[in-house]
Amino acid sequence: MQKNNRGLILAIIFASTVVSGSLVFFGMQITGAQEPESVTNEAIAQGIENYIAQKQEEQFQQQQTAMQQKNDLVKNAKPVDPQKDHIRGDKGSEISLIEFSDFECPFCKNFHGTAKQVLDNYDGKVNWVYRHYPLSFHDPLATREAIATECANELGGNDKFWEMADLLFDRTTSNGRGLDPKSLPDFAEEIGINKANFEACLESGKFDDHIAQDMSDGAAAGITGTPGNILINNKTGETVLIEGAQPLEVLKENIDKLLET
C-alpha cells in the first residue's frame, strides 16, 4: 500500500510537470485542438487523471507478473522427507509449514512463536519443518548457530535439534546483537549434550554442505529473505509462499484453503 501511494505521488508530480511545461502537447493529445489556448483546465485535469490511471494499471500488471513468477518458483520446493528433515509435530501431517530461517534474524525470532501457535491450533494436521537460510550479513555467527543445531541433532536426535533451536532464539537477536559463539558448547551442555563431543562436531565442518544445500533449495523455490515460509499440502503437492514474519491469521487463512483442496 505504501509503495502504491509513493507511486501515485510520483506520478502526480511527473504529470503536473509535463502539463505545466507542455500545454500544447496535452491540447493536441486530449482535445485535438491545434492551439494551446484551446486547452482547458478540465482537459488538463483529465490528462493527469488518465496518466495516473495508466501508471496504476502498469504497476498492477508488474505486481501480478512478479506474483506469478513467485508462484511458479515455489513449485520447486523440495518435498518433505520424514527421514532427513527436521520436523516438529506429527510426521504424517497433511500440511507442512517449511520455514527457511536464520538464527540471527529478529523477524525469525518473532515468527518462531507464531509457528508454535500454528502447531497448537491444528493439532496434528500441520507440522513444522526447519531448513537453514543464514543470511550473509549475519555471518559467520548465523551459520555457526545453524551448525550448532545440526550437531545437537547428530548427538541427541531431532528433539535436541529443536531444543537447541528454541534456546538460540530465546537467547539471541532480541537487541539486534548476536551472542558470543563461545557460549554454544554451554548451550549444548544445558540441553543435555556432551560438551566435548559437541565442540568436536562444531569444528568438524561436516555440516557445511548440508547448510549450503538448504540455501540452494530455498533460492530455487523463491526464498529471498527470512523467514521464508512455504506451506505444502503433502497429499496434493500444492504449495503457497508466505514471505516474512506474517501473523497467525495469515497462516491460518492459507492453511485452511490447503486443507480444503
Residues 91 and 16 occupy one common structural domain: no
CB under 8 Å, gap of 24 or more: what pairs does 193-198 form?
193/151, 193/152, 193/155, 193/156, 193/160, 194/155, 197/155, 198/148, 198/151, 198/152, 198/155
Q: Give a yes or no: residue 152 inside a domain.
A: yes
Which pLDDT band holds residue 67 (cuts at 50, 70, 90)?
A: low
Residues 13 and 90 occupy one common structural domain: no
Average pLDDT of the chain is 83
What single letter denotes the amino acid at residue 193?
Answer: I
pLDDT of 110 reads: 93
Give just the sign of the alpha carbon dihedral 25, 26, 29, 34: negative
Residues 231 and 113 occupy one common structural domain: yes
Q: Give a yes or no: residue 120 inside a domain.
A: yes
CA-closest candidate to residue 215, choices 223, 206, 205, 203 = 223
pLDDT of 250 reads: 96
Give just the sign of the alpha carbon dihedral 19, 22, 24, 25: negative
Residues 60 and 110 occupy one common structural domain: no
pLDDT of 210 reads: 96
Q: How many CB atoms lie within 10 A of CB 135?
A: 15
CATH number for the domain harbouring residue 93: 3.40.30.10
pLDDT digits (tens, 9 = 90+) for 156-186: 999 999 999 999 999 875 555 667 889 999 9
Which pLDDT band holds residue 29 (cuts at 50, 70, 90)?
A: very low
Looking at per-residue confidence, does 68 or 158 come out higher? 158
Domain end: 50, 74, 98, which one?
Answer: 74
Residues 216 and 98 occupy one common structural domain: yes
Which pLDDT band holds residue 31 (cuts at 50, 70, 90)?
A: very low
Name every residue whose Cβ is closer than 8 Å to that of residue 154 and which is 6 or more positions away in sequence. Answer: 201
C-beta of residue 167 within 8 angstroms of C-beta of residue 183: no
Which pLDDT band holds residue 74 (cuts at 50, 70, 90)?
A: confident
pLDDT of 39 reads: 57
Domain span at residue 182? 86-260
pLDDT of 45 reads: 78
pLDDT of 32 reads: 47
Cell numbers at 84, concatenated? 532427513
Residues 93 and 58 occupy one common structural domain: no
Domain end: 33, 54, 74, which one?
Answer: 74
Which pLDDT band holds residue 91 (cuts at 50, 70, 90)?
A: very high
> Up-side HSE of residue 192: CA atoms within 13 Å toward CB?
8
Residues 94 and 49 occupy one common structural domain: no
Residues 64 and 114 occupy one common structural domain: no
Residues 115 and 234 occupy one common structural domain: yes
Q: Give a yes or no: residue 204 inside a domain.
A: yes
> Is pLDDT above 90 for 85?
yes
Average pLDDT over residues 120-149: 95
> Count of residues for the chain?
261
pLDDT digits (tens, 9 = 90+) for 205-219: 999 999 999 999 999
Give pTM, 2 decimals: 0.73
pLDDT of 7 reads: 54
Looking at per-residue confidence, does 61 or 175 come out higher? 61
Q: Give a yes or no: residue 79 inside a domain.
A: no
pLDDT of 116 reads: 96
Domains in the chain, number: 2
DSSP letter (8 states) at residue 182: G
Q: Give a yes or no: residue 80 inside a domain.
A: no
Residues 170 and 43 occupy one common structural domain: no
Domain end: 45, 74, 103, which one?
Answer: 74
pLDDT of 64 reads: 59
